[in-house]
Amino acid sequence: MLAPASRASAQAPSAASIAPAADSLTVPRIDTLLDLETVIRRALAVSPIAAQASAGVRLATSERRVANGAFLPALSANSSLLRSDITTALPGTSQSDNAYSAGLAASVDVFTGGRRGADRSRAAADLRSADATDVAQRFQVTLAAQRAFYEELRGTELTVVAHARVARAERGVRYANDRVRAGTATRSDGLRARLELTTARQQELAAFDTLQSAAYSLGRLVGSSGAVGAVPPASLEPRPLSLSDSDVTRLALASAPSVQAAAAAAEATRAATRAARAQYLPSIRVTGGYNAASQTTVIGAVRPGWQLLLGTSLPIFNGYLREDAVTRASAAAEVARITSLDVSRLVRSESSRLLGALRIAARNIALAEEAVTAATEDLRVQTERYRAGIATSLDQLTSELAVTQAELGLVAARYNYQVTRAAIEALVGRAL
């Protein structure tokens, strides 16, 4: 059975090569090896998507602060210094004077037709949407990190499988040459063995290319400019989820970050519609202040005392701007409502699909392990028969190819399971 590859076995040279070309194969230089937890942590730290989502939370928090501040009075301080010869002195005389003043003024909206309340509701919904989006984006980055991590491990195991195929092909060439020299095989048998060796080395090249691409992709994801390797986890065997399938589906519909973000966005657009309709109602504002000023004869200077102003404003016609604002807000609300429903349907279908895919992947691992065991035993038998002159070279090559395909199938099944499980966790927004 094919075991998870270690870094040492992945980077070890293959068996002694018959053709010098195989000696030139080298894996990419990897100076840094990271486990899965470290890969996820570093990916979250350097991801532009995660940074953008975090910035969205800060902006939404500021928006909520502004919405709450609309209920508080605006306060301002003023001061002035004026020197002028334009005074209230008698005609024919010349006089200059100075004027000093300092004061405080405050104003507050008493009634806005519900606009402030709607703005506060919208800001609160925007913050919930931003929080949910932040969680969703962090899990998406986590999923991308897990994909890259397992892809690098998969590339490592592909090189192990390729090394093993080259080693088997090299032994096959030696066996074929021995039989040709002994007169128990034809030259065609030797050529077939040589062709299998060439094909094996081509697969080895492809495996090195896959590993190199995966290592550099993992490095970019964690903020490194070079290739980064993955430390294999203790076990890659399937393990049961902490929740049943029905509980996972209910959890996804109730608390999936994408569902929460879409629902909060729909609520925010409904609040924006209420705020737009508030423009049809009058607004009432109270303004007051007190000025301390020097006694002066300067015309236009600020006079000491206090003042209180109650003002009402109601636009009668503003070129259909109110109607346009209401139309735009209601249209956005309708789109957000439909989007929220669609996201819920998507999450339901995706959770069911991924849960089914996870069961299939687990079963596929068991079948792939059985295939590797059977193919390995068949190759052992065929090798003994071939060396004894009972089996043909075609039987030998067929068995070797079956072992390679079975090992590749096990590698694919093993990492497909891990990625599918990570996708379920990213969907529901929690570890399972």
Strand bridging mode 305-313 / 32-34: unpaired
Question: Count of CB atoms within 10 A of residue 174's CB?
Answer: 12
Between residues 26 and 367, the one the model is more confident about: 367
Q: Tell me the C-alpha to C-alpha distance, in Å, between residue 195 and each of 181, 182, 417.
A: 19, 21, 34
Q: What is the pLDDT of residue 431?
A: 85
Compute and round to an integer the Cα radius of gyration of the chain. 38
Q: Structure pTM?
A: 0.80
How open is the CA angle 243-244-248, to the nearest 5 degrees? 70
What percent of the chain has a predicted confidence (pLDDT) above 90? 56
Using an 8 Å Cβ cutoff, are 51 and 247 in contact? no
Digit-coded pLDDT (tens) for 49-102: 999 999 999 999 999 999 999 999 999 998 888 777 666 655 555 555 677 788
Using an 8 Å Cβ cutoff, are 134 and 54 in contact? yes
Query: For residue 187, what pLDDT band results from cuts at 50, 70 and 90?
Result: confident
Query: Domains in the chain, please, with CATH?
Result: 33-81+97-428 (1.20.1600.10)
Digit-coded pLDDT (tens) for 376-404: 999 899 888 888 778 888 888 888 889 99
- In angstroms, rounded to a whole number, what is the distance separating the alpha carbons of residues 179 and 189? 9
- In angstroms, rounded to a whole number, what is the distance separating the alpha carbons of residues 128 and 268? 10
Using an 8 Å Cβ cutoff, are 51 and 223 in contact? no
| 130 HSE (CA, 13 A, CB side) | 20
Q: Tell me the C-alpha to C-alpha distance, in Å, between residue 384 and each of 164, 174, 388, 404, 423.
A: 18, 14, 6, 18, 45
Q: What is the pLDDT of residue 4?
A: 52
User: Which secondary structure element, helix H or strand E, spans residue 303, and what is its range?
Assistant: none
Average pLDDT over residues 196-220: 92
* Non-local CB neighbours of 95 within 8 Å, separated by 6+ positions: 85, 87, 89, 297
Angle of helix 257-277 relative to helix 115-182, nearest 10 degrees? 150
Q: Answer yes or no: is pLDDT of 14 > 50.
A: no
Question: Count of CB atoms within 10 A of residue 279's CB?
Answer: 18
Using an 8 Å Cβ cutoff, are 221 and 147 in contact? no
Beta strands in 181-316 (DSSP E): 228-230, 283-293, 305-313
Strand bridging mode 283-293 / 32-34: unpaired
Encode 113-143 in three state secondary structure: CCHHHHHHHHHHHHHHHHHHHHHHHHHHHHH
Q: Report residue 298 as tokens.
A: 């300067």
- In angstroms, rounded to a whole number, what is the distance separating the alpha carbons of residues 409 and 370? 11
* Non-local CB neighbours of 137 within 8 Å, separated by 6+ positions: 49, 50, 52, 53
How open is the CA angle 158-162-163, to the nearest 5 degrees? 120
Lowest mean pLDDT, pick from 9-18, 185-194, 197-206, 289-298:
9-18
User: Which secondary structure element, helix H or strand E, spans residue 26, and what is its range?
Assistant: none
Q: Answer yes or no: is pLDDT of 195 > 50.
A: yes
Mean pLDDT, the chain, whole residue set: 86
Digit-coded pLDDT (tens) for 134-172: 999 999 999 999 999 999 999 999 999 999 999 989 988
Digit-coded pLDDT (tens) for 277-317: 998 988 999 998 888 877 776 666 777 888 888 889 888 88
Signed CA dihedral, 139, 140, 141, 142: sign only: positive
Q: Report residue 141 as tokens.
A: 């980055």
Q: Answer yes or no: is pLDDT of 31 > 90.
A: no
User: Which secondary structure element, helix H or strand E, spans residue 98, and what is its range?
Assistant: strand 97-111
Using an 8 Å Cβ cutoff, are 197 and 169 in contact? yes
Q: What is the pLDDT of residue 88?
A: 60
Distance from the first to the final alpha carbon of the chain? 28
- In angstroms, rounded to a whole number, what is the distance separating the alpha carbons of residues 219 and 32? 9
Using an 8 Å Cβ cutoff, are 343 and 335 in contact? no
Query: For residue 206, what pLDDT band results from cuts at 50, 70 and 90?
Result: very high
Q: What is the pLDDT of residue 21?
A: 42
Average pLDDT over residues 344-353: 94
Backbone angle region of 185, left / alpha / beta, with phi > 0 → left and psi within -120 to 50 → alpha: beta
Highest average pLDDT, of 20-34, 183-197, 293-307, 340-354, comes from 340-354
Q: What is the pLDDT of residue 12?
A: 36
Q: What is the pLDDT of residue 213?
A: 92
